[in-house]
Amino acid sequence: MIESEESPAVAELLKAFSHPTRLMILQELLAGPKCVTDMEDLLTARQANISQHLAVLRYARLVDYAQDGALRCYYLARPQLVRDMLALVGRDDPVVKRTPEAIKAEKERLNKAQQTQATHKPAKNRGRRDKAKR
Amino acid sequence: MIESEESPAVAELLKAFSHPTRLMILQELLAGPKCVTDMEDLLTARQANISQHLAVLRYARLVDYAQDGALRCYYLARPQLVRDMLALVGRDDPVVKRTPEAIKAEKERLNKAQQTQATHKPAKNRGRRDKAKR
DNA sequence: TGCGAATCTACGAATATTCTAATATAACGA
DNA sequence: TCGTTATATTAGAATATTCGTAGATTCGCA
């Protein structure tokens, strides 16, 4: 359950993932630590650009680096998160299609459950739609 | 394993998730189908804006709708994907910190494993760094 | 100390995203 | 048909992202 106050932070994290080059970087790092030059060979992009993307990933706390002389060896700061994310988006989920009838039925069902439980606002109809029914 | 040709498509999908309002919409839809007006009540955003975000989600095949008279009941087209994504980003993963020594050790290990397996390019060092050592 | 390699940052142009206001469209009921 | 409700689309301004070029930084070494 994501609270509305934290939803911007979550969106930020997802944004860090949302770029082809950054995705490739994360995938490379899944295989083991790499320095920027390694990535340059692997990733049709200029060094400066890779550095910029790494800065984004660092800010999102997805990667970090260990300095080794002149080299910076980047590694995944949250490897399990990255692994699961790549698996999730690589997955091929079935797309469901629902009929208006099925939807209506589900709404009824939800309404009923909500009323018996009396959680939160029963909210039969409010706002604009109240006026509509006058 | 995400191939580089599909990484733009994957990035697109992630971008669809990467907005606070869209995240909230998806979360609401997890509880059941809703029409735009329902969301308007729930989501401090104007109707036009919600419609725009729904268009993005529709294009990403994350949602679809069933028409019910003048209403459009939106629902999740890939509920499991959305459920798993929200769980994943809501999760609190430990952030690992690694020393230069540990990194160096891992690189050695990976190199060794790679050589015995003789997968792909052994790639001791190439490109710019070859010249460097001359 | 000075050089070259590895990497980062600053800046600006091109492009994309987001939001609002206004308008368009579609369905329903009187 | 007309008015009203629900929703979508358009247009434009504000903002953010992306990428290249150029110039800084930092490190190890001769």
CA distance A14 to A17: 5
- CATH architecture of the domain A7-90 equals Orthogonal Bundle (1.10)
> Is the CB of residue B70 less than 8 Å away from at least one CB of chain A?
no
- What's the CA B131/C1' C6 distance, rounded, in angstroms? 14
The ranges assigned to domains in chain B are: 7-90
Q: pLDDT-derived band of residue A118, with 50, 70 and 90 as boundaries?
A: low
Helix axis angle, A7-17 relative to B20-30, nearest 10°? 110
Confidence of residue A132 (pLDDT cuts 50, 70, 90): very low
pLDDT at B35: 96
Q: Beta carbon of B21 within 7 Å of strand D? A: no
Residue range B52-67: average pLDDT? 98
Is residue B122 scored above 60 in pLDDT? Answer: no
Q: Is B1 on the interface with A (CB under 8 A)?
A: yes
Within 10 Å of residue B31's Cβ, how many Cβ atoms? 9
How would residue A116 be classed by pLDDT, with cut points 50, 70 and 90?
confident
**Phi and psi, residue A112, nearest 5°:** -60, -55
Mean pLDDT confidence for B64-86: 97
* A76-108 pLDDT, tens digit each: 999 999 999 999 999 999 999 999 999 999 988
In this predicted complex, what is the ipTM? 0.89
DSSP per position, A99-122: -HHHHHHHHHHHHHHHHHHT-S--
pLDDT at position B26: 98
- Per-residue pLDDT tens over the stretch A31-79: 999 999 999 999 999 999 999 999 999 999 999 999 999 999 999 999 9
Tell me which residues from 22 to 81 on chain B have a beta carbon below 7 angstroms from nucleic acid strand C: 45-46, 48-49, 52-53, 56, 67, 69-70
